Amino acid sequence: MKRLIVGAAGHIDHGKTALIKAITGFDGDQTKEEKERGITLDLSFSHLETSNASISFVDAPGHEKLVKNMIAAAFELDALLLVVAADDGIMPQTNEHLMIADMLGVKSAIVVITKTDKIAPDRLTEIKERIEALFNDCLTTKITAIVAFSIYKNETIADVKNALFSLEPIERKCGGFFRYYCDRVFVSKGSGVVVTGAVLDGEVKEGDKVFAYDLKKELIVRGIETRNKATKVALAGERAALNIKGAEAKELFRGVLLAKKGYLRGFNRVGIFIRAIGGEKLRHNAEIILFLGANRFEARLMFLDEKLGFAELVIEGEVFAVFGDRFIIRNGFKTIGGGEVLLPIGDPLSKTQKLTLLSALKDRRFDLAFAELIASHNRGFGLISSNQRFALSHEEALAIALKLSNTFVDQEALVAYDLNAQKTLQKAAMDIFVKNRRAMLSAHTLSERFKWASKAFVEISLSALLKSGKLKLENSLYRHIDCDIIDEQEYIRETLFSLIDKASFAPQAPYNIYDSIDLDRIEGDKALKTLTKQGRVTRLEHNIFISSEWLAKMTDALRNLIKENGYADVQSVKSRFNLSRKYAVAYLERLDKFGDIRREEDRRVLR
């Protein structure tokens, strides 16, 4: 079944709501104020369905002061249903709504000329010609049909329906993950908090956990309704009401973004392509209102290249944009421009780098964009964010990166490296082995030490040092070529025991010991297990190992402390032995294993 979201737009009192009622049976003016004034004040929703198509309608208000509500609807549309009254013809909001739809990338428009029973045939021809001329200024939105309509003629209702069912849904693509902007919030008796919106991409199922990015809260979808029917899943291209748990209605607002947790990051600066509409002039450093999705933000427009239309938006607060998101900007009650988000992630780049990227991304030259980003990220460029950054899946991003020259791609870690980064890693590694000729480190431990370098990149980078004879690789451990250790297991074991024993009552955590002597963590853990089995070392907690001899001395000392004071607690142990709380707690809990000592709240006493 094809699924479409169609927005009814046009000037106030041109018959949008009456048109929707005629084809769906739904009266969009639901509130008392709307009934009294005879106009739509906010978004209203209805649907039309056949066996192979489902169309959800968004009826947007036509009043100039309510254009912000129309923008919230237009962001999610597959097509525009532009309503023009035959007696009035093209009016200011006809123009503005069409410009907004065009700026937001709505490709198809059905124009319905209403109230045709009030005009002569030659007037209808004149209006059609003016409508066609109006669309000549559109870059994206094209007419698929112009339909003459009257609520008194049933055949015209059928004409509109036929035009609607001939529409095709747009491709919804931002990486395949669920995204949804709330455009209404209310409390349903017996159900709780309900939000409505359109599924922009992916799907959402009953029981799913979703993340409200603006609230930084995880919510649970308790129930879903589409087309006024309960369902288990809502798919991309459908409007859906979600019954949610995890937030109160007063916390939510129009524009809250719901998506899978971990897929998006928020930024207060995004790179864009922008153009003016309606003859407006866009000014550098101008304060504007940004409309993105169903949300709105105060922002400042900062041009990088005014002639090419490349700029940045500096936003009050965080915006969780995705590559290709369309937006509108307004100044007061006037729509002045709009465009497309090209750099949704705020990288620390120079102006030249940003312009290179914006140009490549505007033309969808992802290979050029990847090359620029990999070169500018000299410690690896992560492809994990390709969903948000490029609206590409990980598989698509990998395919592009793998075709680039002078690049190493770690497909498992989803990181692409400029091969020049090998020199940086080789130097850092050699600094370790030259400073400590007894260093023994695996590729895994080196990648833990150099957080930016994946295990696979460590291996390919150090292979050159092996070939040149500067390092050697034995038992998966890299060593300096002049390393004099013969029995590595004995060396590791005895070195660790010596350091633990030397530290008496307060030895360092194992990983800190390993790092201090440049010892591989896996090999260090093996040696500690052996020392523990031998009884030379005792494990107090997961990161506290003490020599058994020192532990016996501490146990005797604690018994003496209890005899002197009548008890031992954290404070007395800290003071007597000059220990931190971590060690004091560990030693006291060790006493709980002895039958002649009992615990009274936070104190240990003799029985």
Task: Say what the pTM is.
Answer: 0.82
Distance CA 542, CA 493 (A): 18
CB 513 within 8 A of CB 524: yes
Q: What is the pLDDT of residues 504-544, one digit of tens each?
A: 999 999 999 999 999 999 999 999 999 999 999 999 988 89
Distance CA 126, CA 88 (A): 12
Distance CA 206, CA 34 (A): 34
36 falls in which pLDDT band (50, 70, 90)? very low
Higher pLDDT pick, 127 / 5: 127
Residue 430: is its pLDDT beyond 60?
yes
Question: Nearest-CA neighbor of 335 among 495, 595, 100?
Answer: 100
Distance CA 432, CA 441 (A): 10
Whole-number average pLDDT of the chain = 90
Mean pLDDT of 326-353: 92
Q: Give me the pLDDT at residue 74, please.
A: 66
Mean pLDDT of 581-589: 94
Mean pLDDT of 274-293: 93
530's tokens: 């052996």
Mean pLDDT of 395-422: 96
Residue 32: is its pLDDT beyond 70?
no
DSSP one-letter string for 543-606: TEEEEHHHHHHHHHHHHHHHHHHS-B-HHHHHHHHT--HHHHHHHHHHHTTSTTEEEETTEEEE
